[in-house]
Amino acid sequence: MSSPAMIDRYRWWEIVLIYCGIALFLFFVLSPFVEGFLVSLKPLAQLFSSPYRFWPENGSFEAYRTMWISVPGFGRYIFNSFFISTVVTVIVLCLVIPAAYAFARFEFKGMGILLGAFLTVNMFSGAVLLIPLFRLMRSMGVLNTYLAMIVPGVAFLIPSAIWLLRTYMIRIPQELNEAAYMDGASHFYTLRRVILPIAMPGIIVVAITTFIGAYAQQFIFALTFNSKTEYMPLPVGLFAYFGKQEVIWNELMAASFVGIAPAMVVIFFLQRYLVGGLTAGAVKQ
């Protein structure tokens, strides 16, 4: 009689309430995107006319064509963003996979402290260290190059990546290591041939979150360490649509959607890993 499934059965008005709640929540989350998309469809004159109209009249994808013309370097900005984020992600993975494995498998004095130290680093944003980083980049002679955005970008993404991947690797049974050692495999061989393939879903999650993080970081590092348009990443490059008189809003929004579309497609296909991995990492701490 008291089957567990019955608990989850809602009365009709409860279902209505839940859908209203979800609608309210999603309205908050999605309204900037909806509005942004509608703006990208409106002619500029319509944007600057009163009274305010929500739906576009004679909406068209014209802005998606003209955005390439008003800011000729736009394609370059997208490329720069993807290039910087990809390089950052690859370097972070190379540094973090071994470190996370060490934290997950070996235990001796000082490791807990080191892990805590990484977490502490995670809490300092690049904004706090901009002045010395600027001096460091200048003395390394990498200001106004891709490296000016890649080098600091990597450092601030290492800690959270280590924590996330370590949580994942801890759950891989220790017996696998022992079995491999029994068969005479070296530490390194075990890591490469036994652990890495099993940890792949976790590595994918770390790769995605690092990529997203790298994309988000580009604003402040590019703003401070780079003044050359040819190396400008998308977030800063979008300021090109801020004209002397007014912002070309419809093209700015069109450019935003063009800029994020590839990332959205990738994440859409990988979201199964993403939600699972994030929540597992979150709850297990």
259 near another protein (CB under 8 A): yes
Tokens 């984020």 -> residue: 85
Is the CA virtual torsion 236, 241, 247, 249 positive or negative?
negative
Out of 10, 61, 79, 189, point to the residue binding another protein (CB under 8 A).
10
Taking alpha carbons only, the member of 37, 169, 176, 28 closest to residue 100 is 169
Out of 60, 75, 79, 112, point to the residue binding another protein (CB under 8 A).
112
* Token duo for residue 1: 């009689």
* Token duo for residue 273: 């890993």
What is the C-alpha to C-alpha distance for residues 164 and 7, in angstroms, rounded to an integer? 34
207 near another protein (CB under 8 A): no
* Token duo for residue 6: 């019955």
What is the C-alpha to C-alpha distance for residues 204 and 212, in angstroms, rounded to an integer? 12
81 near another protein (CB under 8 A): yes
90 near another protein (CB under 8 A): no
Out of 87, 90, 136, 204, point to the residue binding another protein (CB under 8 A).
136
CB of 31 to another protein, least distance (A): 7
Interaction pattern, residues 209-238, with another protein; x per rule: CB under 8 A: ---x--xx-xxx---x---------xxx-x
Burial class of 25 by CB neighbour count within 10 A (0 to 12, 13 to 18, 19+): exposed
195 near another protein (CB under 8 A): no
Q: Which of residues 138-157 bind another protein (CB under 8 A)?
A: 151-152, 154-156
What is the total count of residues that contact another protein (CB under 8 A)? 106
Residue closer to another protein, measured from CB, 25 or 79: 25
